Structure 1
Amino acid sequence: MSFKKQDLYPCNPATARGEATKLASSGDKVVYTNGRTVVIRDLKNPSAAVTYAGHVQNTTVARISPSGYYCASGDVTGTVRIWDIVGEDQSLKGEYKVISGRINDLEWDGESKRIIAVGDGRDKFGHAFMMDSGSSTGEIIGHSKVSQVINAVAIRHQRPFRAATAADDATIIFHQGAPYKYEKTIKTHVKFVQDVRYAPSGDHFASVGSDAKIFLYEGKAGETLGEFTDSPHSGSVMACGWSPDSKSLVTSSADCTVKLWDVEARKAITTWKLGSGVNHQQVGNTWTGGDDIVSLSMSGDLNIFDKRVGDKPARVLNGPQKSITTAISAASSPGTFFAGTADGRILAYSDSGYVHLEGEGHSALVSGLAAAPDGKVYSVGFDDRVREIDGGKSFVPAVSSTASQPRAVTVASDSTVFVAEASGVEAVRSNQKVFELKPKFTPSSVAAAGMTIAVGGEDQKVRLYEWDGKALAEAATLEGNKGTVSAVAFSPDGSLLAAGDSSGKIILFDVKKRESVTSRWSFHSARINSLAWTADGQHCASGSLDTHVYVWSVQKPMRNIAIKNVGPGGVSAVFWVGDGQLASAGADGCVRTWGITFHA
């Protein structure tokens, strides 16, 4: 047996209210961060997405060098890692602790040799250094001692080098370089300066701030040339980006608009309005070398605009912002799957990409998804609700409440929904509770095969129940697990049951004989979060908190496929999206697919 890495469906950028989110681009690629993951996403070739998970702490900003060979990424501890993006090994070029707190922005010089990183430190708030040695190439100083959080940095890519930093003290500091040294303080804004960017030509740079103002400056001397006053934004301007020809500027604002400006005339050419409310606030942008304008909504949506067309985005890239907590394949539509996240969202994936389900969803973590024989999909969440998804596109308005916090959900062959909860097991049909089981143990997982229901418990046992349409009757107790039974799954014909536990052990049971078939599926080192069987019932995949995925063989229990270090934070779901195609999802919010080959 062997595996091959296939497609990656990345998470969207992380956002925080009242804060700008730094996006960057190189050619057609957009670069951003979410948690410990750095994502490089190709807008022209979606299957070419790449993630990097080398940071120990959450990342904040990442930028590709002008040469295109390296990426520099910073995190909340003040560490910058420089890594190779050519090839799959992502080898580390250098790691430097540059400030003592969060890095808010960093920038490469035009020669791909020097980097300036800025942020929120204790003793210093910016550092200029060589990318290969980490040695200093000047001083980043000049901002107020009281509010010295630096939000952005921009470097002129042509000689003579210049750099500008923007901070919460409402000033921009202009530096000569290299080595970089203080030149002067620019006081144009009256509130926090959120972003500063140099034009690709190096002739100008621009700044935007919380005072809703946009200013233009001369690139070499830093002289203020003027303000963009035609049709200004009505809210904080969070980001600005230059066109590849340096003739246009795009700005993104918390007033839910994106504006395109003619720099020479200083007039707004186009204004795009993206709805209203916090979720539509625009908190970051970048202008790609392929001439796509990308603006980031507070909701995490990446809005892609064509400057020549329309009053709305040409397309919108959806995706999870938080950890994926559960995911299943849609039985009614091959290649389609659903993913539930830690913030209560459920996304449906098809060939056209992720789509957020319409209607009112869950308000807290989605703890389980299950597909019914009739093609319907049901979800449960920590808001103590059972919801039905209609046609894979929207939530059914009717909802059923649970007696306690749901942990897992499954559907019997008569379309009765069974929910394993902290206090028992509920049976729900047509949004009505039809039966409730109050066992002496605490349920932790549930699965169904026909009218047989398996309930895993915190007491390290699995109980089998028979459902007659009215009540559950206990049929057997299966023992052998060494921890809380965290995942159970029947083979497609219902003859076998895999039970994974919190110690990383999986026991395979013969359902008819009520006995263990093998206990050798024990290579995981942490909690089993998900189990998924192949259609022929000969192989079972497991995903664990230990970040690994294994594919096990029924006929040869000691043979397996080990897919190691699948994603930082652990694997929360595995499922089959087609013959020989396995998908995994987890804490980094990404879904990865793997081609599995079963040798005879």
Structure 2
Amino acid sequence: MSYKKRILYPCAPATSRGESTKISSSKDKVVYTNGRIVVIRDLKDPAISIAYSEHVQNATAARIAPSGYYCASADATGTVKIWDTLGEENVLKAEYKVISGKVKDLEWDGESKRIIAVGDGRDKFGHAFMVDTGSSTGEILGHYKTINAVSIRQQRPYRAVTASDDSSIVFYYGVPFKFEKNIKTHTKFVQDVRYAPSGDHFASVGSDYKIFLYDGKTGDTLGEFTDSPHSGSVNACSWSPDSKLIVTSAGDRTVKLWDVETKKAQVTWTVGSALDHQQVGNTWTAGDDIVSLSLSGELNIFDKRIGDKPIRILSAPQKAITSAVKTLGAATFLVGTASGRVLAFKDDYECVSGDGHANLVSGLGISPSGTVYSVGFDDRLREIDGKSYTPAAFSTAAQPKGLAVGPDITVFVAEQSSVEVVRSNQKVFDLTLKYTPSSIAAAGSLLAVGGEDQKVRLYSWDGKTLSETATLEGNRGVVSALAFSPEDSLLASGDSSGKIILFNAKERKTVTTRWAFHTARIQSLAWTADGRHCASGSLDTHVYVWSVEKPMKNIAIKNAVPGGVNVVFWLKDGELASAGADGCVRVWNVKLRA
């Protein structure tokens, strides 16, 4: 048995309310961060995206070099990593500790030889250094508060500008970069500053709702964009490839396109009306796509010729994926997240519309007819039809730990001390337990409930009541995941110690105890359609594919999900998906043999 990585469906950018989020682009690719992940997302095909996961702490800024060969990414500890973007392994070229706190932005020079990184520090707020050696190439001075943005003129003679919470912009001559002057045009936080590709000008935006234009060589102020101004904090600005237009994104949920020569707004796009539609970042790609980032993590793509609405909206999980299910209808699969959002995937992600969950989605299940059910930590059971919630909803008696779908659209919900049985949004039975349930699975009329007492109970459902039929023992920890094989005869039981016991559910006996290579809690189990192999995902970040006929044979997919695997599921024969803490879905081609 063997495997090969096939596709990665990336997560959305991480955002913070009231704070500018730096996203960047290289050709048709957008670069951003989420948690410890740096994502290079292809706007044309999300399946060929890259997720770099070697940062120990949360990544905070990333940009690809003008050469396109390397990416520089920084994290909350002030560490900058420079790594290869072309090879599959993303080999690390260099690593430097540049400041003592969070790096908020960084920029390459036009020769891909130097970088300036800025942010929050104790002794300094920025550092200029050589990529190959890490040696200093100047001093980033003149600010007394956190620096939010930096931009370097890409042509010689080099110039650099930085923008800070101290309401000022500092202009530097280079190389080496030396303080030239302090520019006091803004009255509040300066959120972003960007040089035009031509190097003739640079622009700044801030929390005072203002936009200014400057001479790129001297730093002289050329004027303010006062026509049709934003009514909220302006969080980001970007230049068109021809340096004639500027796009700005603001907290008033609008994106504006400005003509540099006349300083007038040509187009205003209003993205939405909710808090999540506040615009916190943007970038203008070389392919002439305008990309603006919503607080929700959605990437809104605009065409400068169409002044109505985004031509595309790219959605993705912004928080950890906590549950998933392969579907039969309009979507390929659904994922539930720690934020309460459920997203449907077909050719790209789309948020399930309607009144959804307000907290973590703890379980997703599908009926034989294709109806999907979800439960969340908001104590609600919801029904999903295609890509939207139905009006139907059921309030659970306690916080649900998971669900299983049985025959006749019967849903079994495991709670703190009971199992509620729900049909057509009405409770039809309530089984009070003497133990604390921790996992649940159903197959036909058979229900399995795993407990914190390390045992698995089997129940029979006759359409009216649940009757206990057997107790299965052998697990060494809390039973954290259960899964029946398609023909209902085998039951895999994973626990918090990383061990999986395979039972014969019909004969009530143990088949094997040799599936014990995980080193942490088993989070998910999934069977192949023929019932000959079972996949497992664990908090140890690994995925294993086990063979029933040869229990000691397995496929080990090491480090499958940085931060831990929360769910595994089969898309089709030989195609396994895994997802978890980083919000990405990875698809693996698995060559199975008995």
If the length of structure 1 is used for normalisation, what is the TM-score?
0.98
Number of the residue aligned with 2:405: 411
2:359 equivalent to 1:364: yes
Choose the corresponding residue for 2:488, options 489, 494, 517: 494
Q: Please give the alpha-carbon distance, in whole angstroms, between the structure 2 residues aligned to 1:47 and 1:377.
A: 25
CA distance in 2, matches of 1:505, 1:413: 30
The CA deviation string for residues 139-187 of structure 1, in whole angstroms up to 9 with x for no partner, is 10101x3xx1110000011111111000011100001111111100001
Report the Cα offset of residue 526 of structure 1.
0.5
Match of 2:503 in 1: 509
Identify the residue that residue 395 of structure 1 maps to in structure 2: 389
Which residue is equivalent to 1:183?
180
Q: CA deviation at 1:436?
A: 1.1
Query: Counterpart of 1:84?
Result: 84
8 A contact 1:29–1:288 mirrored in 2: yes
CA RMSD of aligned residues (A): 1.0
Residue 233 of structure 2 corresponds to residue 239 of structure 1: no
Pick from 235, 245, 251 the counterpart of residue 254 of structure 1: 251
> Is 288-297 or 433-442 further displaced after alignment?
433-442
| Residue matched to 1:268 | 265
Match of 2:313 among 313, 316, 329: 316
Distance in 1, Cα, partners of 2:387 & 2:543: 29
Partner of 1:12: 12
Q: 1:380 aligns with which of 357, 375, 378?
A: 375
2:417–2:434 contact (8 Å) kept in structure 1: no
Find out whether 1:282 has 2:282 as its counterpart.
no
1:168 aligns with 2:168: no
2:539 maps to 1:545: yes
C-alpha contact (below 8 Å) 1:74/1:81 kept by paired residues? yes
Shift of residue 493 of structure 1?
Answer: 0.6
Aligned to 1:338, which of 320, 334, 338?
334
Instruction: Output aligned runs, 1:554-565, within 5 Å.
Output: 554-565=548-559
Letter in 2 for 1:171: S
Please name the residue that 2:218 is paired with: 221
Residues 418-445 of structure 1, C-alpha deviation per residue, up to 9 Å, x if partnerless? 0111121111111111111111110000
1:522 aligned to which of 502, 505, 516: 516
For residue 513 of structure 1, report the CA deviation from its aligned partner. Answer: 1.3
What are the superposed Cα offsets for residues 283-304 of structure 1, whole Å, 9 maximum, x if unpaired? 0000001110000011111000
The question of whether the paired residues in 2 share the 8 Å contact of 1:414 and 1:451 is answered with: no
SS in 2 for 1:594: strand
Which of residues 341, 350, 353 in structure 1 aligns to 2:346?
350
Q: How does 1:114-133 map to 2 (within 5 A)?
A: 114-133=114-133
For the 8 Å contact 1:139–1:182, the answer to whether it is kept is yes
> Does the 8 A contact of 2:561 with 2:578 survive in 1?
no
Tell me by how many angstroms 1:332 deviates: 4.5
Q: Distance in 2 between matches of 1:278 and 1:598?
A: 48
Q: Which residue of 2 aligns with 1:420?
A: 414
Task: Measure, in 2, the Cα distance between the counterparts of 1:138 and 1:513.
Answer: 75
Q: Which amino acid is the alignment partner of residue 523 of structure 1?
A: F
Provide the rounded CA distance (Å) in 2 between the counterparts of 1:511 and 1:48: 41
User: What is aligned with 1:69?
Assistant: 69
Distance 1:468 1:91 in 2: 58
Q: Secondary structure at the match of 1:530?
A: strand
C-alpha contact (below 8 Å) 2:61/2:73 kept by paired residues: yes
Q: Counterparts of 1:130-145 in structure 2 under 5 Å?
A: 130-143=130-143, 145=144
- Asked if the contact 2:533–2:547 (Cα under 8 Å) also holds between the matched residues in 1, the reply is yes
Q: Secondary structure at the match of 1:573?
A: strand
Q: Quick one: distance in 1 between partners of 2:307 and 2:162?
A: 34
Shift of 1:488: 0.3
Rounded Cα–Cα distance in structure 2 between residues aligned with 1:132 and 1:340: 43
**Which residue identity lines up with residue 236 of structure 2 in the other structure?**
A
What residue is the counterpart of 1:298 in the other structure?
A: 295
2:585 is equivalent to residue 588 of structure 1: no
Task: Please state whether the residue corresponding to 2:83 is helix, strand or coil.
Answer: strand
- Tell me the SS of whatever aligns to 1:414: helix
Q: 1:356-379: per-residue Cα shift (whole Å, max 9, x none)?
A: 111111111000000011211111
Q: Within 1, Cα distance between the matches of 2:405 and 2:86?
A: 46
**Counterparts of 1:133 and 1:528 in 2: how far apart (Å)?**
44
Equivalent pair of 1:403/1:423 in contact (CA under 8 Å): no
- C-alpha displacement at 1:86, in angstroms? 1.3
Please state if 1:203 is matched with 2:197.
no
Distance in 2 between residues matched to 1:365 and 1:117, nearest whole Å: 35
Report if aligned partners of 2:150, 2:161 keep a CA contact under 8 Å in 1. yes
Q: CA deviation at 1:592?
A: 0.9
Q: Which amino acid aligns with 2:516?
A: S
| SS across alignment from 1:54 | coil
Q: Secondary structure at the match of 2:401?
A: strand
Question: Aligned residue for 2:209?
Answer: 212
| CA displacement 1:52-108 (0-9 Å, x = unmatched) | 001001111100001111101111111111111111111111111111111110000
Specify the code of the residue in structure 2 equivalent to 1:162: R
Tell me, which stretches of 5 or more residues in structure 2 are unaligned? none
Unaligned 5+ runs, structure 1: none
The answer to whether structure 1 residue 470 and structure 2 residue 467 are counterparts is: no
Query: How many percent of aligned residue pairs carry the same amino acid?
Result: 72
Q: Secondary structure at the match of 1:469?
A: coil
Q: What secondary structure sits across from 1:561 in the alignment?
A: strand
Which residue is 1:109 aligned to? 109
Alpha-carbon distance, 1:309 to partner: 2.1
CA distance in 1, matches of 2:592, 2:141: 60
Range moving further from structure 2, 487-496 or 430-439: 430-439
Q: Residue by residue, what CA displacement relative to the aligned partner does 1:212-260 show, whole Å, maximum 9, x if unpaired?
A: 1110000111010111111111111000001111111100011111111
